[in-house]
Structure 1
Amino acid sequence: MSDSGYGDFEFERRFVARDVPRELLDESPPTLIVQSYYLADDGYALRLRVQSSTARAVLDDRSDAVDVLDAHADAFDFCALTAKGPMVGGTRYEAERELDVSVGVEMVRRGGLRIVKNRHAVWLGADGWVIDVFGGANHPLVVAECERSGPVVDLQIPSFCVTEVTEDHRFANDALVHEPFARWAGAFERELESQGPRFLQGFGRNQALPGDQR
């Protein structure tokens, strides 16, 4: 639960990322995440996540979530069950309960729709960001996300964020388990080429990251 006065509501903005500097990713050893969705419908989701701060998994389009889970089962050091509501204007309900890791690993192994990714946590300008590098059927998707304890306004957006997908439900993890990125990546590229990048204008003033080149 957030201690910001907003209860279990969280605030974030998400972007498709390209050409993230390797040295930036190397600053933050990745957290390996395998998560399973037992409900994922119209933005409502019940998610079980296990993660490891020490496992090192190279993810590509052949990475299977269960195989990755089995290969690193002893390395997972955190598990949580989360109930999520739909994203509305950069705000989403998320109530989380930490669970026993061994129980969580077995539950992920036994069911649900699964996703696997490496998450890098970095500090950029005035904010902390997470950069998710997906494996399996969602490879080579990379999503950068900034989350705050209140509305994400006047954001400094790094140049590797090519377009904003905060309100594009296709890029939510609970949508990607049903329709993985590989199935519609070509259509998305054509859409981006014809319509150009989009950055939401209702969150104050979008700013370039100081020292960044667009």
Structure 2
Amino acid sequence: MALEIERRFLVRSDAWRSSAGPAQQLRQGYLAASADGVTVRMRLRGSDQAWLTLKAAADAVGLVRHEFEYPIPVADAEALWDLAPHRLDKVRYALDCPGGDWVVDCFQGENAPLVLAEVELASAQADLLIPPWCGEEVTGESRWSNAVLAQHPVQFWPEEQRRRFGWP
């Protein structure tokens, strides 16, 4: 069974850009999402790669999830995008940082100007050196999951919540 072990952080500066690889445009459509964290999504990267993914919680804190991901034809992904009731767009950058597979997601559209960092780890007990450009850890906080952001974009959060993060 495939497991994803991931920690997530708000990003507080652009210092990560010096370690960033090329930009990858991602579109994610959520076909189903349950209150207990089971999601079914399609993802398109650019115009030439697509996947169907099912995720479900594997622990009580949101650090470990079951993840089943399968390549699908781009035409199928485009059709699923049209059917998806909740969607989001973001630009992803893979980073050359120690301690795991780091990416930074710069959200677009109704989730701009949100920027999140994620690191995939080999184990839940792995030591992690957190880069100084990372801010608050949001691992396991559901409002920061992509599935929830697709349903409840940050631009529709109450003004006092947006201001807390320095957003208009």
Q: Please state which band the TM-score falls in when normalised by the shorter chain.
A: 0.7 to 0.9
Corresponding residue of 1:31: 24
Between the aligned partners of 1:153 and 1:107, the Cα distance in structure 2 is 36
Distance 1:17 1:23 in 2: 11
Tell me if structure 2 keeps the 8 A contact 1:36–1:49: yes
Instruction: Write the distance in 1 (CA, Å) between the matches of 2:136 and 2:159.
Output: 16
Selected match of 1:151 from 121, 124, 132: 124
Q: Separation in 1 of the partners of 2:48 and 2:79?
A: 14
Quote the offset at 1:191 in angstroms: 6.1
**Mapped partners of 1:131, 1:185: distance in 2:** 25
Report if the CA contact (8 A) 1:35-1:108 is conserved.
yes
SS of equivalent to 2:6? strand
Contact map agreement 2:110 2:153 (CA 8 A) in 1: yes
Within the alignment, does 1:41 sit opposite 2:46 as a pair? no
Question: In structure 2, what is the Cα distance between the partners aligned to 1:151 and 1:77?
Answer: 33
Contact 1:13-1:152 at 8 Å conserved across structures: no
With over 3 angstroms needed to count, the CA separation of the structure-2 counterparts of 1:23 and 1:131, relative to structure 1, is: closer
Give the whole-Å Cα distance in 1 for the aligned partners of 2:90 and 2:58.
Answer: 21
Structure 1 counterpart of 2:40, which letter?
L
> Normalising by structure 1, what TM-score?
0.69
TM-score when scaled to structure 2? 0.87
Superposition RMSD on alpha carbons, in Å? 2.2
1:135 lines up with 2:135 in the alignment: no
- Corresponding residue number in structure 2 for 1:100: 73
Q: How many residue pairs were aligned?
A: 163
1:175 counterpart residue number: 148
Distance change (3 Å), C-alpha of 1:137 and 1:190: closer
Query: C-alpha distance in 1, partners of 2:17/2:38?
Result: 36
Q: Does the 8 Å CA contact 1:12/1:152 hold for their aligned counterparts?
A: no
* Residues 35 and 50, structure 1, Cα contact 8 Å, conserved in 2: yes
Q: C-alpha offsets along residues 157-196 of structure 1, whole Å, 9 cap, x if unaligned?
A: 0111110000111000011111111222744466679xxx
- The AA in structure 1 aligned to 2:139 is T
- Secondary structure in 2 matching 1:119: strand
Overall identity of the aligned pairs, in %? 31
The one-letter code sitting in structure 1 at the alignment partner of 2:34 is D
- Structure (1/2) with the larger strand percentage: 2
- 1:184 matched to 2:157? The reply is yes
- Please identify the structure whose Cα radius of gyration is greater: 1
Q: Is the 8 A contact 1:18 1:161 kept in 2?
A: yes
Output the amino acid matched with 2:38.
Answer: Y
Q: 1:98 deviation in Å?
A: 1.0
1:122 to 95, 107, 117: 95
